[in-house]
Chain A
Amino acid sequence: MTQTRSAADDLVRLLGPDRVFHDEATREAYARDATPLFHRRPDVVVTPASTAEVAEVVRYAAETGTPIVPRGAGSSLCAGAVALAGGISLVLTKMDAILEVSRPELLAVVQPGVTTIALDEAAGAQGLMFAPDPGSRTVSTIGGNIATCAGGLRGLKYGVTRNYVLGLEAVLGTGEVIRTGGRLVKDVAGYDLTRLFTGSEGTLAVITEATVGLLPRPAAAGYGLAYFGDLAGASTAVDAIVGAGILPATLEFLDNTCIRAVEDFAVLGLDVTAGALLLFGDDGDPATVERTVARMAEVCSSVPSCREVTLAADVAAADALLAARRCSLPALARLGTLTLLEDVSVPRPRMPEAVARIADIAARYGITMGTFGHAGDGNLHPTAVVDADDPAAVEAAHSAFAEVFRLAIDLGGTISGEHGIGAAKLPYLGARLGETHLGVLRRVKAAFDPAGILNPGKLGS
């Protein structure tokens, strides 16, 4: 407690009382992010308003060896924003200015606390868009998106956050401020630190400003829905769609467990006997979208196990189709009191096998697990729902997921496609990368953060 007080007192001296909080209620509110089962109160919460203030806090932390955990909206799904070693929760939501949107240069310059949707809306006002669309875009911040290299529902066509970060301003673990990249499409001067910081989960530097690429905003979007007897059928359809030279914005699937959970919850009239549901869609100019969606429907119909294909006639119908995908997680969550959402990714051709074997694993451990995900890019979200008060069930879910991670790696995939490693998946990182690779990560971290204060106990630790 004296420790807490003195760190807080020191920080108040540096930044003033309006930026530093250490009352019990504030510390409790920042004790978790969106990851279940990870909880620790930071000793002090700091809300800087400028890069200079961030640098001051980091310098102080480096001098005193105080852990410092950067945080945006706290929507992390890998406990990346939980201060598991105590110390400072560095909350960047007050640095939320959109400094510039340049239509001729197709870029925006923003502070890290800007929400993803606010950036996209600002771009939209000039006929542009910010392409990455993580599921939490209404709340997540750009700083957090970059720190975790967030993905989203249209990765196949548009890629992920890393494809849109042009330049960064960041505070290193020493308190030094550096700028990487800039307003350039081409720039090979030096190592690509912009990409290194993207997905570094706050372990190398604190991002204080970002220059991000924008795209012309598509004029229209269209969607359709197809049912298959099994996921292998849906997967065949996806392969056939991409094989036909179509690169659609949306290819999302639900397995039978998800279809039933969604139908029970939302009563959308879904076919609960289907083995898989595929939501397909594209964006672009209206004529192209109409043609592409029609072609995708045709390809789906030609797959032998396809049962039915529906096209959305208008925006309302499209929303109804999208609702099925959007409410998968909450629909599953209502089946129990603890929802564990995972994020493995496999090469697309291995997806049917992955989903079938994930179902086997769940059955073997006797837990309810539904899988939905981004069929276009092979990113799967197996989701276990258990009773939080049943330690055996929670343990079974963890064991099942350990097997799921091994399975993903065996299939040439990875343990996290877009949610990150954080504290939640660090125990499995060695299996994915190997000792040599882990050693390199540690040496990289030491170069940027010699005192080891930035988000300790996570990547590079």
Chain B
Amino acid sequence: MTFTPDLLSRCISCGFCLPACPTYELTKDERSSPRGRIALMRALETGTLPMNDPGVAEESSFCLGCRACEVVCPAGVEYGQLLEEWRDATWRGRRRPVVVRALLRAVDRTWKVRLLGLFRRHARRRTGGSASLMLGCFERFLYPKVSRSAVALDPRLDVDPGQGCCGALHAHNGELAEGRALARKLGERLPGTIVTTSGGCAAHLADVLGRDRVVELSAWLSGPASAAGAALPGPAGPILVDGRPARIGLQDSCHLRNGLGVWREPRAILAALGEYVEVPGAASCCGAAGTYALVRPEDSAKVVAPKVDALRRLDLDILVTVNPGCTRQLQTAVRKAGLRTRVVHLAELAASARTDGSGR
């Protein structure tokens, strides 16, 4: 048995997920819709399609895994879980993309993850506080300033530099057991509340450790941080650009929004930092989608294209992200399009606003 039976049978094939799906939007092909993919999963389960069917393999890879279908599903299908089980069953051995294999191997041991961060100036201050900051695996390497900003915002956060990867990467890419094991290991290493700066990691950790153990940074700053007694300095005032409040937009993190229902919190924070502008399609996937941008760069570019058009029209000063993959994807897209908009993680923007109000 490949799939949890209750998850598959819950789909009533109503098709309400079609308009929410970015890949269906690209193709208008039922095969690349959530309902169509569930039809394929059912066929795998009953054996009417073989595991190595090329069309099935293509669809398991073409799916972004953004879970936008889950929030519009009237029947409550847990599509993200089904996708993880699907890839776990079909992305075996050589059928897993080479890039993915390399990435998973790079962070499957704690020592490798520590090595990634060794020469990067990510936060590493032990405070003994009851809440720990999660450093992420690639985030500590690619964007070390994010964790430094997070501890600047809430100095009580404890940072254990010996922590490993949360396993979201593995769970999303066909190593479900490994992904869950890594999350449990991280949960043991970081007791108490885990604060994350990555929406994707937050959703995966919450799924394994329980919703009450995990808080994403914007949600943390909006409530629990002050409740936990942190004396957070208020913003020095709006971030100014040419003497006026900066025009700031947000790109939601799919798993943060669709998996954990967190989307108001980052908007509220940004509204305090400048003139908040809702980017059309902010809630839909930017095409980063974990390893997707690396595995399927052409499709990833097609997914981000309408977003770039929207950003060009809005001419924002700053576009804020709440997940490292989105930061990378949008920085690249914005640079290629020659836009002046600066793409930055929420932690960095909020921290800089408190220090000198420059937003830098």
- A interface with B by C-beta (< 8 Å): 21, 23-26, 28-36, 47, 73-75, 91, 93-94, 96, 113, 115, 117, 136, 138-139, 326-327, 329-330, 333-334, 337-339, 388
Contact indicator A96/B28 (Cβ below 8 Å): yes
Nearest residue in A to B73 (C-beta to C-beta)?
A330
Contact indicator A91/B14 (Cβ below 8 Å): no
Q: A28-B40, A32-B13 provided; 19 other pairs, C-beta below 8 A?
A: A23-B54, A24-B55, A25-B40, A25-B53, A25-B54, A29-B33, A30-B30, A33-B15, A34-B14, A35-B13, A75-B14, A136-B14, A139-B15, A330-B12, A330-B75, A337-B6, A337-B9, A339-B12, A388-B9
Nearest 8 Cβ contacts at the A-B interface: A25-B55, A29-B36, A330-B74, A29-B31, A337-B9, A29-B30, A93-B28, A75-B15
Q: Which chain B residues lie closer than 8 Å to A337 at the CB level?
A: 6, 9-10
Tell whether B39 is near chain A: CB-to-CB under 8 Å: yes
Q: Which chain A residues lie closer than 8 Å to B55 at the CB level?
A: 23-26
A-B contact pairs, 13 of them (CB 8 A): A25-B40, A25-B53, A29-B29, A34-B14, A35-B13, A36-B12, A74-B30, A113-B28, A327-B74, A330-B12, A334-B75, A337-B6, A388-B9
Q: Which chain B residues lie closer than 8 Å to A33 at the CB level?
A: 13, 15
Contact indicator B49/A28 (Cβ below 8 Å): yes
Contacting A94 at CB < 8 Å: which of B14, B28, B72? B28
Q: Which chain B residues lie closer than 8 Å to A388 at the CB level?
A: 9
Interface of B is mostly: helix
Contacting A47 at CB < 8 Å: which of B28, B37, B53, B74? B28
B240 → chain A closest CB, angstroms: 35
Q: Which chain B residues lie closer than 8 Å to A36 at the CB level?
A: 12-13
Q: Which chain B residues lie closer than 8 Å to A117 at the CB level?
A: 19
Interface string of B26-63 (1 = CB under 8 A from A): 00111101011101100100001100011110110000
CA distance A318 to B54 in the complex (A): 48
Tell whether B246 is near chain A: CB-to-CB under 8 Å: no
Interface residues of B in 326-357 (CB under 8 A from A): none
Q: Which chain A residues lie closer than 8 Å to B35 at the CB level?
A: 74
CA distance A21 to B43 in the complex (A): 18
Tell whether B16 is near chain A: CB-to-CB under 8 Å: yes
CA distance A326 to B75 in the complex (A): 12
Q: How many residues of B contact A (CB 8 A)?
A: 33
Q: Which chain B residues lie closer than 8 Å to A32 at the CB level?
A: 13, 39
Nearest residue in B to A23 (C-beta to C-beta)?
B55
Nearest residue in B to A76 (C-beta to C-beta)?
B15
Nearest residue in B to A41 (C-beta to C-beta)?
B48
Q: Which chain B residues lie closer than 8 Å to A333 at the CB level?
A: 10, 12, 74-75
Tell whether B107 is near chain A: CB-to-CB under 8 Å: no
Contacting A25 at CB < 8 Å: which of B10, B14, B59, B74? B59
Contacting A139 at CB < 8 Å: which of B16, B43, B56, B59? B16
Which of A93, A96, A338 gathers the greatest number of chain B CB atoms within 10 Å?
Answer: A93
Nearest residue in B to A71 (C-beta to C-beta)?
B30
Contacting A24 at CB < 8 Å: which of B15, B33, B36, B49? B49
Q: Which chain B residues lie closer than 8 Å to A326 at the CB level?
A: 74
Contact indicator B48/A34 (Cβ below 8 Å): no
CA distance A138 to B74 in the complex (A): 12
Contact indicator B15/A34 (Cβ below 8 Å): yes
CA distance A54 to B193 in the complex (A): 59
Nearest residue in A to B37 (C-beta to C-beta)?
A29
A327 → chain B closest CB, angstroms: 7
Nearest residue in B to A327 (C-beta to C-beta)?
B74
B163 → chain A closest CB, angstroms: 37
Q: Which chain A residues lie closer than 8 Å to B48 at the CB level?
A: 28
Tell whether B76 is near chain A: CB-to-CB under 8 Å: yes
Q: Which chain B residues lie closer than 8 Å to A35 at the CB level?
A: 13
Tell whether B262 is near chain A: CB-to-CB under 8 Å: no
Tell whether B165 is near chain A: CB-to-CB under 8 Å: no
Contact indicator B15/A25 (Cβ below 8 Å): no
CA distance A139 to B12 in the complex (A): 14
Q: Which chain B residues lie closer than 8 Å to A327 at the CB level?
A: 74
CA distance A326 to B72 in the complex (A): 12
Nearest residue in A to B9 (C-beta to C-beta)?
A337
CA distance A30 to B175 in the complex (A): 30
Q: Which chain A residues lie closer than 8 Å to B37 at the CB level?
A: 29
Contact indicator A29/B9 (Cβ below 8 Å): no
Contacting B18 at CB < 8 Å: which of A23, A31, A139, A334? A139
CA distance A67 to B29 in the complex (A): 21
CA distance A21 to B6 in the complex (A): 31
Nearest residue in B to A387 (C-beta to C-beta)?
B9
Nearest residue in A to B13 (C-beta to C-beta)?
A34
Contacting B43 at CB < 8 Å: which of A28, A94, A334? A28
CA distance A319 to B14 in the complex (A): 22
Q: Which chain B residues lie closer than 8 Å to A136 at the CB level?
A: 14-16
Nearest residue in B to A38 (C-beta to C-beta)?
B13
Q: Which chain A residues lie closer than 8 Å to B30 at the CB level?
A: 26, 29-30, 74, 91
Interface residues of B in 297-317 (CB under 8 A from A): none
CA distance A91 to B37 in the complex (A): 17
A187 → chain B closest CB, angstroms: 34
CA distance A34 to B18 in the complex (A): 12
Q: Which chain A residues lie closer than 8 Å to B28 at the CB level?
A: 47, 93-94, 96, 113
CA distance A338 to B39 in the complex (A): 15
A334-B13 in contact given A28-B39, A28-B40, A96-B28 (Cβ < 8 Å): no
Q: Which chain A residues lie closer than 8 Å to B29 at the CB level?
A: 21, 26, 29, 47
CA distance A131 to B36 in the complex (A): 30
CA distance A364 to B335 in the complex (A): 68
Nearest residue in A to B30 (C-beta to C-beta)?
A29
Contact indicator B43/A73 (Cβ below 8 Å): no
Nearest residue in A to B74 (C-beta to C-beta)?
A330
Nearest residue in A to B32 (C-beta to C-beta)?
A29
Nearest residue in A to B55 (C-beta to C-beta)?
A25
Contact indicator B39/A73 (Cβ below 8 Å): no
Contact indicator A31/B39 (Cβ below 8 Å): yes
A68 → chain B closest CB, angstroms: 17
A257 → chain B closest CB, angstroms: 18
